[in-house]
Structure 1
């Protein structure tokens, strides 16, 4: 029986981010039944919406954590924390990773900081870039825009920025798990074309897919 994945689509996400993640998660024999959750979507973002779901997915968004968090009711945030603590799974990419911290949904007890501007990191602005990321030891040039630098404490590290720091990781929260990704391995060719970037080593999703598989295991 397919497991249900709810992918947020709405004002707390960026144009195209939800659709790309939904397509990625629903492909490759994942066994996931993917629906959109959010204002005017297949499923409204109410506390009851998480009943029966296996995975909640928060895609990338803007650059304001407080603004993104304001689009969710306190009741939904409490329900999401309970959902994960009781055994559910959360996947957060870029803004979705930031929202997992104490400034957002509160799934982790610490706030999530950004990689931009940290020592040795090659990006110093909010633009679209390629950064080198080692996915389980395999170095790939990965789409990046103001991505998170993930906390090391409690992390099962799945990817590291080659400049230093955790780029993707899994965390245990109660009976559930949280998977966070700072950059955008889900980015397809349309993302690169729109940003005017040339991808030197091809699609990266297959290198991030093991994190999703372990998250759902």
Structure 2
């Protein structure tokens, strides 16, 4: 079972896209939306029934944090006890600590567009070039996170931006695992058509599935 947050801290369609990605992954997760207006609330009891908690993309980090911070202790304990956290864009920012759940020990989280040498400087939806496991790929992007792994920190970097900063990685927290990605591997055809964007690689979900599988295989 994968619990996927749905509420005001996620953008329209983002939760649904993450759920589709999880259901299509090799592990074929069952998914359940959770949040303040859902039948399933976020609590220690509901998290105990799940293998993963997924935090989708959304808007402003600080505004989102005000809406989800009441769940922080339960989510940290869930991961510390062996659960898995997946964070997409905003969900990746929220995995950090300023503000956030504090799940990325030894890993800094900042906006890619503000990093030195970044080729994207605005917050409009676009497509970003990355290297995923050393291979050039393109991903849907909107003000996504970049990660800096401090020396001595154990993490599997799956993808990097052109600056060399990590765009996707998997790390441990307690007995659990955390997979985070700055761009949007869950973006489907509607995301591209709505924004009149195109992906040179086509619309594929293998990168998102790799993130999920690596998180669970770690």
Which residue is 1:106 aligned to? Answer: 102
Distance (whole Å) between structure 2 residues aligned to residue 157 and residue 32 of structure 1: 24
Change (3 A) 1:162 1:111: closer
Structure 1 position 171, deviation (Å): 0.8
Report the secondary structure of 1:90's partner residue. Answer: strand
Contact 1:120 / 1:164 at 8 angstroms: preserved in 2? no
1:142–1:204 CA contact under 8 A, matched in 2 = no
Task: Assess if the C-alpha contact under 8 Å between 1:11 and 1:68 holds in 2.
Answer: yes
- Map of 2:139 onto structure 1: 142
Kindly report the root-mean-square deviation, in angstroms, between the aligned alpha carbons of the 2 structures: 1.5
Structure 1: state its 5+ residue gaps. none
- Residue 186 of structure 1 corresponds to 186
Matched, 1:50 2:53: no
- Alpha-carbon offset, residue 70 of structure 1: 1.1
Q: Is the 8 A contact 1:168 1:182 kept in 2?
A: yes
TM-score, with length taken from structure 2: 0.92
CA contact (8 A) 1:90 1:178 kept: yes
Moved over 3 A (4+): none
SS, match of residue 30 in structure 2: strand
TM-score for the superposition, normalised by structure 1: 0.92
Q: Structure with the greater relative contact order (CA < 8 A, sep ≥ 6): 1 or 2?
A: 2
Give the total of aligned pairs: 212
Structure 2 unaligned residues grouped into runs of 5+? none
**1:89-128 alignment to 2 at 5 Å?**
89-102=84-97, 103-109=99-105, 112-128=109-125
Question: Which secondary structure state, in structure 2, belongs to the residue aligned with residue 32 of structure 1?
Answer: coil
Is it true that 1:70 corresponds to 2:62 in the alignment?
no
1:6-17 correspondence runs (5 A): 6-17=3-14
Query: Cα distance, 1:28 vs. partner?
Result: 4.4
1:97-137 deviation digits (Å, cap 9, x = unpaired): 00001111121246521101211111111101111011111
Correspondence for 1:82: 77
Cα pair distance change 1:112/1:163, threshold 3 Å: closer
